[in-house]
């Protein structure tokens, strides 16, 4: 990666409610400024970290606005779990600033580094020794009475769910302008390949490699014979209509962070996002290895071609 800008800035976002995140954030602030890189922080997070901007050279920049926080920054460094990285995706959505996650969560599928990797991660940032990977997002639109009422996006998934536990949701699913099936269900998840290891995975949907551009559709507890997970083309438009006769209302969740109420008759359209999320990659490890590491999958006994060659055996 090359960037010859004379002034270098890094936005640092941290889950400041966790002590270990605060410690790691302070270490990165010290290390980055020590290399002459300007650190930008949200003002409230700087207060949580107990940092005085003038104690650093170059001085730490503070901003009150999340909307413009990543402007002119070469990367956004996120310290926390996948939830913190999804928040960073919101902050950087318009600017397309690359996001580098340092994992302090349990799984951390979106993260590229662990909290013990501060020195090596810092060195990679300073040397610009990283690559960028664009991931597909979803554009999500909500219509009521034919009028567009909400337009938002999702990195992992958009899920239509019943608003009340005791009420089933009646929906009809359409693909590319044609009806596919009607379900009485708890909801429907529409996920990206990035989100295939999140809610989609928990709901029984397939894991999709990030290099595959597609959308996964998974009905939740559907009362129907045909209620299998579906994988559709990235060019498809998925429509979920909350039937007018349904007794219960619904709610739209995007990445588990943003919600929209869905009264009977509401229509949700999901299509490939016009703006991807850009992730920083420090390692070129195959996605297979990431699955094994994150899920702790048992692979003992594997004797692949690489190992056989190492032992001098015939492939």
Mean pLDDT of the chain: 92
**What pLDDT score was predicted for residue 305?**
75
The one catalytic residue in 82, 176, 255, 289 is 82
166 exposure class (CB count in 10 Å sphere: 0-12, 13-18, 19+): exposed
The arithmetic mean of pLDDT across residues 195-224, rounded, is 96
- pLDDT surpasses 80 at 300: yes
82 is a catalytic site residue:
yes
Using pLDDT thresholds of 50, 70 and 90, give the confidence band for residue 312.
Answer: low
Closest by CA position to 81, among listed 24, 124, 131: 24
Share of the chain above pLDDT 90, in %: 80
Using pLDDT thresholds of 50, 70 and 90, give the confidence band for residue 304.
Answer: confident
Measured CA to CA, the distance from residue 245 to residue 153 in angstroms comes to 28
Share of the chain above pLDDT 70, in %: 95
The arithmetic mean of pLDDT across residues 133-144, rounded, is 97
Selected residue with higher pLDDT from 109 and 229:
229
Measured CA to CA, the distance from residue 263 to residue 274 in angstroms comes to 27
**What pLDDT score was predicted for residue 315?**
45
Do residues 47 and 111 touch, judged by C-beta distance below 8 A? Answer: no
The arithmetic mean of pLDDT across residues 296-303, rounded, is 91
- pLDDT surpasses 60 at 175: yes
- pLDDT surpasses 80 at 152: yes
Measured CA to CA, the distance from residue 259 to residue 72 in angstroms comes to 30
- pLDDT surpasses 60 at 309: no
- pLDDT surpasses 60 at 308: no
The residues pairing with 178 across neighbouring beta strands, listed in sequence order, are 175
Do residues 130 and 281 touch, judged by C-beta distance below 8 A? Answer: yes
- pLDDT surpasses 70 at 1: no
Q: At 124, is the secondary structure helix, strand, or coil?
A: helix
- pLDDT surpasses 60 at 4: no
The arithmetic mean of pLDDT across residues 43-72, rounded, is 95
- pLDDT surpasses 70 at 81: yes
Q: At 266, is the secondary structure helix, strand, or coil?
A: coil
Using pLDDT thresholds of 50, 70 and 90, give the confidence band for residue 24.
Answer: very high
Selected residue with higher pLDDT from 165 and 79:
79
Using pLDDT thresholds of 50, 70 and 90, give the confidence band for residue 307.
Answer: low
Q: What is the pLDDT of residues 231-244, one digit of tens each?
A: 999 999 999 999 99
**What pLDDT score was predicted for residue 285?**
85
Selected residue with higher pLDDT from 108 and 287:
287
Q: What is the pLDDT of residues 274-285, one digit of tens each?
A: 999 999 999 888
- pLDDT surpasses 90 at 108: no
């Amino acid at each position: 990666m090359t960037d010859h800008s004379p002034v270098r800035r890094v936005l640092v976002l941290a889950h400041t409610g966790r002590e270990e995140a605060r410690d790691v954030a302070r270490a990165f602030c010290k290390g980055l400024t020590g290399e002459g890189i300007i650190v930008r922080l949200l003002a409230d997070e700087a207060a949580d970290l107990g940092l005085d901007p003038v104690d650093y050279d170059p001085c730490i920049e503070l901003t009150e606005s999340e909307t413009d926080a990543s402007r002119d920054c070469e990367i956004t460094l996120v310290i926390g779990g996948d939830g913190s990285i999804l928040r960073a995706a919101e902050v950087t959505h318009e600017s397309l600033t690359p996001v580098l996650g340092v994992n302090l969560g349990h799984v951390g599928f979106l993260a590229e580094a662990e909290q013990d990797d501060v020195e090596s991660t810092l060195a990679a940032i300073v040397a610009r020794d990283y690559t960028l990977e664009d991931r597909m997002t979803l554009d999500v639109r909500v219509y009521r009475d034919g009028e567009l009422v909400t337009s938002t996006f999702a990195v992992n998934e958009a899920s239509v769910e019943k608003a009340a536990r005791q009420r089933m949701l009646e929906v009809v699913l359409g693909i590319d302008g044609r009806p596919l099936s009607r379900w009485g269900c708890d909801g429907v998840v529409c996920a990206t390949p990035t989100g295939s290891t999140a809610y989609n995975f928990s709901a029984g949907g397939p894991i999709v490699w990030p290099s595959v551009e597609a959308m996964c559709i998974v009905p939740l507890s559907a009362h129907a014979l045909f209620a299998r997970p579906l994988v559709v083309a990235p060019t498809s438009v998925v429509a979920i209509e909350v039937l007018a006769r349904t007794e219960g209302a619904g709610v739209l969740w995007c990445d588990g962070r943003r919600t929209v109420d869905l009264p009977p008759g509401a229509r949700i359209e999901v299509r490939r996002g016009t703006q991807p999320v850009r992730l920083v990659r420090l390692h070129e490890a195959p996605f297979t290895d990431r699955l094994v590491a994150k899920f702790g999958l048992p692979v003992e006994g594997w004797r692949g071609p690489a190992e056989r060659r190492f032992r001098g055996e015939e492939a």
